[in-house]
Amino acid sequence: MSTLGKRIRRADARGRVTGETLFGGDLVGSEALTIRVIRAPIAHCNITGLDIEAARAIEGVVAVYTHEDIEGTNKHGLIRRDQEVFVTERVRYRGDALGIIVAEDEATAQRALDAVKIDFEALPIIENAEQALQSDAYPIHPEGNVFCNKLLRKGDAEKAIAEADFTIKCSHSTPGVDHAFLDLEAGYAELDGKTVVIHAPGQWVHEEQRLIALALGVAVENVRIVQPATGGAFGGREDISIQIYLGLAALKLKRPVRIQYTRSESMVTRHKRHPIEIEYTLAAKADGTLCAAKVLITSDEGAYLSTGPAVLRKAVSHCTGPYRVPHIWADGRAVFTNNNPTGAMRGFGAVQMAIAYEGAMARLAKALGMDLLQLKKKNLLQDGEPITTGQTIVISGAEQCLDEAAAEIGWQGRSYESPEPHLRRGFGLSCICFGIGYGDSFPDASRARVKFSDAGKLEVYTGAVDFGQGVHSLAAQIAGHELTVHPSKVEVIAQDTHRTPEAGSSSATRQTVYTGNAVRLAAAELRQEVLDVAASYTGLHWDELTLHEGTVVGKQKESICMPMASVVRLGRERGYKLDITSLYKPTTIAGGAKDGLSPRAFITYMFASHAAEVLVDMETGEVKVERVVAAHDVGRAINPQQVEGQIEGGVVQGLGMALMEEVIVSEGRIVNDGFTDYIIPTIIDAADVKAIIVEREDPEGPYGARGVGEPGLIGTPPAILAAIGDAIGVPLSEAPATAERVWRRIQESRNGGEGERRRASRPSNVVRLRGGK
């Protein structure tokens, strides 16, 4: 029986509940030397002297390495190699590394770190995009501080805005956010002959292998990554972290080495979600039909490029979400500052845009005196209509998701009854879309190898990294489905550059579609080969045979029953390999240089809708999110339990972004660099979350499935912010909606009277809605 669509147990869960599973920091062989990193003294300076002699002289210090010890390019970076492994002269942010100490133990390494003397010439620290854009701002990189522009031009937005009945103008700012995965950067490396084997967590082992080899000047085949169990990533492991340090030390010293970041070091060094300022103009006819959007996006890119241009493109290409907007003018620019580089994080530009366009929609509904649900329904894309970039959407589950979310939260009959006089209730809705994969003509591909062992065990080889989302379980389920083997009996060999084929990164909500398809293709071909072997042996046509629980049986003749081990033995004797590697590599088309439009920016899009219910304390500004409903058109849920898990987890991360998470930086130094000050949601903060799975099968996906990684987060902040706005009577423009910000907004509205007018106008609305059905 196939397990597609079934809630199967994940095979990798057992070691995690018993504590047996080893993560990067658990590889604690006592013979390993300890690495510590010498960091920049301030966020922006030129290094004029680095005295490591005293550190080197300490007993137990085995080596101190700086840029002078690196034989390769000494550079890394996902899109552009613009970040030095060890700074030669210019420091651009606090997390820049100047070198590493390798010592016999942690305590010695710390003493050596304290003995390093750094001389430097301070440069002006550019703290935000506004400062970076000043004409006399100090250039952080040679080309200046604006490094990237992305645009989108569709129709004539200016004219459409001028002719519209209603125009909403608003600005939003979204915070820098930390991934805050629990499993800190930690790893282990040792030599195997000439090859350095690095056990460290990342998101794309083959790209990391190439970057390490380039930086260190060693052959690619002499760098092997074997990724250990990895505790979360959320985009935060896309940029290189500890891998090059481990590789360098192991290669130089020919001894095993280990490294373990602290939470502070992890936060100070790692890239963040882009803080983005968005000016949004949304125009509509009197009946609520959207006419045009004008969008200006400014993102703080921090000190290095990271994946910044891709994030900006995603923001621009998602700037009107799942709505039908015929005229669009959008400009995005990314600006260097001396803050942490900003790059990939779950939501990747799309969540910032969702906050902006849904903020504008909530304001528009109010201006029109129209129910938010009706305004959205009127404008959501239907099957066959073009999305922001001009791409035709084949399957749009947008409206179905909205209907499901609204019904579950009880939108029509919603009651504003409050348990206490100082508490006010509010409801919000959001609709979002998300393009799956890298898109925009990037050569995005996944390969998978599916074979039988000599003993007849089904094996899947994939380079895809699993940091908790369950792609390995998915691979087992798909291969098992094609070959009628229960996933618990499928062996998955994964995330090892030397044993597994390249699958691209585990990011961009892409692995279900990309690696899912690659596994499906390979497994289907293997199934055919198995039947061919059995046919040639039995003398039947292959179509007269089938597979049942991993055994070849006759469809008609029940006497025929060939165990897989026999098929494999007979097949291999006759030259059948029963070992298939397949490639899934669909094409996408880059946005036009002059208009950013593309008939196929992404292979497919997914749609979702969230509904939120909050209680706001009008005296303190505190917000309690009572319920979040998230309806997602996932195409087909291969394992509904995992799909729900992704949605629920995304919702609570989104709740963190909406209410509490914000990286606070002063002069390039992160002020809240630990879990005491950088607050993420606890089980008490987490709302009652209801995930609703909508299944409109996608022609691109394996068995109709789409990805589910990011959208659960994306839809949440806009729904919660809308609910808070509903409760307090005025919209919010800044995330996170901390108690202080909400309280200030309440005071402003009281002083300006806007909030009271909003209150007064609502009852008629409510009455109409309640009478609706």
516 phi/psi in degrees, rounded to 5:
-55, -45
Choice between 11 and 407, CB closer to another protein: 11
Minimum separation from the CB atom of position 21 to another protein (A)? 5
Whole-number Å distance between alpha carbons of 142 and 275: 23
Minimum separation from the CB atom of position 248 to another protein (A)? 20
Q: Crossing angle of helices 640-659/716-728, nearest 10°?
A: 50
Interaction mask 488-517, another protein, x per CB under 8 A: xxxxxxxxx---------------------
For the record, the structure tokens of 495 come out as: 């995330």
Q: Which of 202, 487, 591, 702 binds another protein (CB under 8 A)?
A: 487
Does 263 engage in binding with another protein (CB under 8 A)? yes
Minimum separation from the CB atom of position 468 to another protein (A)? 3
State which of positions 312-341 bind another protein (CB under 8 A). Answer: none
Give whole-number Cα distances, 407 to 610, 770, 771, in Å.
Answer: 11, 13, 15
The three-state DSSP-derived secondary structure of 163-207 is: HCCEEEEEEEEECCCCCCCCCCCEEEEEEECCEEEEECCCCCHHH
Handedness of CA 727, 279, 661, 753 (dihedral sign): negative
Interaction mask 381-420, another protein, x per CB under 8 A: ----------------------------------------
Binding segment (CB under 8 A) for another protein, from list 77-85, 102-110, 581-589, 703-711 = 102-110
State which of positions 205-244 bind another protein (CB under 8 A). Answer: 226-232, 234
Q: Give 186's strand partners.
A: 260
For the record, the structure tokens of 397 come out as: 């589950």
Contact 731, 359 (CB under 8 A): yes
Does 631 engage in binding with another protein (CB under 8 A)? no
Choice between 113 and 315, CB closer to another protein: 113
Number of residues that bind another protein (CB under 8 A): 87
Minimum separation from the CB atom of position 651 to another protein (A)? 6
Does 18 engage in binding with another protein (CB under 8 A)? yes
Q: Which of 40, 118, 180, 737 binds another protein (CB under 8 A)?
A: 180
Does 6 engage in binding with another protein (CB under 8 A)? yes
Q: Which of 239, 358, 529, 644 binds another protein (CB under 8 A)?
A: 644
What is the DSSP annotation of 110-171? HHHHHH-EEEEEE-----SHHHHTSTTPPPSSTT-SEEEEEEEEES-HHHHHHH-SEEEEEE
State which of positions 658-717 bind another protein (CB under 8 A). Answer: 674-676, 680, 682-684, 686, 689, 691
Choice between 400 and 473, CB closer to another protein: 473
Does 455 engage in binding with another protein (CB under 8 A)? no
Choice between 127 and 265, CB closer to another protein: 265
Whole-number Å distance between alpha carbons of 110 and 37: 10
Binding segment (CB under 8 A) for another protein, from list 366-374, 471-479, 516-524, 727-735 = 471-479
Eight-class DSSP state of 586: -
Q: Which of 76, 92, 252, 472 binds another protein (CB under 8 A)?
A: 472
Does 763 engage in binding with another protein (CB under 8 A)? no
Does 12 engage in binding with another protein (CB under 8 A)? yes
Choice between 51 and 105, CB closer to another protein: 105
Whole-number Å distance between alpha carbons of 102 and 245: 10
CA 246, 252, 258 angle in degrees (round to 5)? 30
CA 340, 341, 342 angle in degrees (round to 5)? 110
State which of positions 181-210 bind another protein (CB under 8 A). Answer: 181-184, 188, 199
